[in-house]
Chains A and B, each alone.
Chain A
Amino acid sequence: MNDMVLQGTPALVLDNVTKTYSQWQRNGKAKDIIKNLLKPEKRVVTALDKVSLTIGQGEFVAYAGANGAGKSTTIKILSGILTPTSGQVTVLGLSPLKDRIALMGRVGVLFGQRTELWWDHPVITSFQWKKDVWNIPEEVYERNLQMATELLDLSDILKTFARELSLGQRMRADIAMLLLHGPDLIFLDEPTLGLDVLAKQQMIGFLKRLNKEQGTTVVVTSHDMDDLEEMAQRVVLLNKGNIAFDGDFNALRDVMGGFYRILITTQPEMPPLSLLDMKLLKSENDVHEYEFDRTKLPIHEVLGNLSKFSQIRDVEIKKAPIEDVVANLYLSWKEK
């Protein structure tokens, strides 16, 4: 089905998209009952505020943001489930609302907290159901089924009833089902939610391979920034319905000052070292963790400073965890 996408057509375009909801406001006081009935108080919630975004074919994009930032709303607008209050949306050159049927034949949507599998049937029956509903040609179905079964290690669970699958197995089966029609673009809303470490690694590995080998465009939302960094090349951060950041993960770190972490192991029972321009974060079992801004204190200077301390036994320098970077970003947005 990849052949059907015109070369040069972006995978999706959001042009000045706004989505507002009306939300009830009640103070819980009995004296306001009449007012609530006659003139109820409402608040307009802006889930997306003039968002413009273009994602090219073959990209792997992380779409992230705090709770209520507008991630799921965007996915629903792109899938034609919701209409934007204003603005234009095209996905694979089609309008999600007007061309819903044609579009759904070319994209895959997975809401991580829900399953598309038939609960009272074995997994393979759900796959056959999908083949009929999507009208997938036999050879395409067989090829994609074989690929998904191999890469997602499904052979043991194909005959198992969906209600008896573990969460990890269910997610793998859902992803496989998503791919049976060979979509050009997939939207994954929290695909790693609740998965254990191994299941998460399998899922991430598979999605990366799918993106690289098949050229499938992937848009994934998650709260787990470490997962997103491992998967995606580009991250779009939403804040209160606006795009607050759009770029790669290194650039995201630079936004917060290009912070690095350094772990210094010293001789037993030594106090933490006093280091210029470095902030001590914690000390535990003779391991002291500091943070420094790489743009203000280059690495060679850090190493030069450390060489003066003979009591150092080991040094490890690493990037600040993306979770911390983003948490600080969220905090700074909240304080504004």
Chain B
Amino acid sequence: MVDNLKTVLRLYRRYAVMDLLWLLRDTRYFIIQILSDGISAGCTVAGVYLLSLNFDHFAGMGRNEILFMMGYALFVEGIFNFFFIGNNAGFISRVVGRGQLDHIMIQPVPLWAELLTQGFCPFSGSPLLLMGAGLALYGAFKVGIVMHGTWLLLCMFYGICSCLLIMAFLYIISSMAFYAPAAAEEISMVGKDMFSSLKTYPLGNMNPVVKRVFITILPIGLSAWFPSLRLLEAGVNSMASLKLLPALYLPAATAVFSLLALFLFRKGMKHYERYGSPRYSGFGFR
């Protein structure tokens, strides 16, 4: 356990150094990257802000509440970029489908440790996290939330849960790449796009059946809308006003999705060890 923790920290440190070296490899590239990240983040923030202005009382949420929810969604996206954007760590179907697990399996570290750390980009992946955190806090301020330590911790905890839930969902669908490597190589990208484009829609006025689907088997509502409502409730009223079951729903769903992802990925790994990378499979030769 201690050895594994040391390994994870060592790997995080190495990937952080490599990310910094990559970002600062050349003045011209660095300036272009900063400029493009700045423009992209500015457009995202402006887009979110303008949308929130047009959606006052949309689906039961006020303008500032929508601004907060969109900020939260960006914050979750930022956590994803910060930890999983490098080396296709967040798009695991590509690694599986391209037969690149071989490279990881010849390393003397646990597979999970390498998969967990190899996407770590604390420098090149941080702009969206900073923008998202800033926008969420601004939205919270506009709603009138008093941001004390407990609420901030809850916000961070929910943000991490939402991000892990997205990752677990991507791992679940990416497990298909073990069986149909070429056909499913890009499936994690499709899954991620689905979250990115749909997660900022408030589900308040939706048909209850659709709403249930979006907070259970297709957990898009758990990546922004549902946790934002809980955070607004806890911030505007008080932490004590949070009902236990709804408050625990996101962490519980994250745990269930993570366990399912673990089960399916391990099953896929068994298949991979038995049949190898795509070469001998009908779907997969590349």
Contacts and interface: CB of A to CB of B under 8 A. Distances in A.
Interface of A: 21-24, 45, 73, 76, 79-83, 97, 100-105, 109, 111, 114, 116, 118, 120-121, 125, 128-129, 132-135
20 contacts: A22-B275, A45-B280, A73-B276, A80-B105, A82-B273, A83-B274, A97-B273, A100-B105, A101-B109, A103-B108, A104-B106, A104-B107, A109-B106, A111-B102, A118-B18, A125-B21, A132-B10, A132-B13, A132-B14, A133-B107
A125 B105 contact: no
Interface of B: 7, 10-11, 13-14, 18, 21-22, 102-103, 105-110, 114, 273-276, 280, 282
A125 B16 CA distance: 12
A24 B280 CA distance: 9
B221 to A, nearest CB: 36
Given A81-B276, A132-B13, A121 B108 contact: no
B21 A101 contact: no
A-B pairs, top 10 by smallest CB distance, nearest first, are A24-B282, A104-B108, A105-B108, A132-B14, A21-B280, A109-B106, A83-B273, A82-B276, A101-B108, A81-B105
Given A101-B108, A104-B107, A133 B22 contact: no
Contacts of B22: 120-121
Q: Of B21, B103, B276, which is in contact with the most chain A CB atoms at under 10 Å from its CB?
A: B276
Nearest to B22: A120
A135 B7 CA distance: 8
A23 B110 CA distance: 31
A121 B21 contact: yes
Given A45-B280, A104-B105, 8 more contacts: A79-B105, A81-B273, A82-B274, A105-B108, A121-B22, A125-B21, A132-B14, A134-B107
B96 to A, nearest CB: 13
Contacts of B274: 82-83
Contacts, number: 66
Given A81-B273, A114-B103, A133 B14 contact: yes
Contacts of A132: 10-11, 13-14
Nearest to B99: A114
Contacts of B108: 101-105, 133-135
B245 to A, nearest CB: 41
B102 to A, nearest CB: 5
Contact of B10 (A76, A105, A135): A135
Contacts of A21: 275, 280
Contacts of A73: 276
Contact of B106 (A22, A81, A83): A81
Q: Of B21, B108, B274, which is in contact with the most chain A CB atoms at under 10 Å from its CB?
A: B108
A129 B10 contact: no
A204 B234 CA distance: 69
B14 to A, nearest CB: 4
B234 to A, nearest CB: 41
Given A81-B106, A97-B273, A104-B107, A125 B18 contact: yes
A177 B156 CA distance: 40
Nearest to A126: B18
A97 B272 CA distance: 13
A45 B282 CA distance: 13
Nearest to A118: B18
B11 A133 contact: yes
Contacts of B14: 128-129, 132-133
A120 B29 CA distance: 13
Given A100-B105, A134-B108, A76 B276 contact: yes
A83 B273 CA distance: 5
Contacts of A83: 273-274
A54 B145 CA distance: 71
Contacts of B110: 101
A116 B106 CA distance: 10
A120 B86 CA distance: 12
Contacts of B276: 73, 76, 81-82
A258 to B, nearest CB: 38
B13 to A, nearest CB: 7
A81 B272 CA distance: 8
A76 B7 CA distance: 25
Contacts of B13: 132
Nearest to A25: B282
Nearest to B13: A132
A279 B274 CA distance: 49
A125 B24 CA distance: 14
B109 to A, nearest CB: 6
Contacts of B280: 21-23, 45
A304 to B, nearest CB: 55
B112 to A, nearest CB: 12
Contacts of B18: 118, 121, 125, 129
Contacts of A111: 102
Contacts of A100: 105
Contacts of B109: 101, 133
A129 B7 CA distance: 13
Contacts of A114: 102-103
A80 B105 CA distance: 8
A224 B17 CA distance: 41
A186 B36 CA distance: 45
Contacts of A105: 108
Contacts of B21: 121, 125
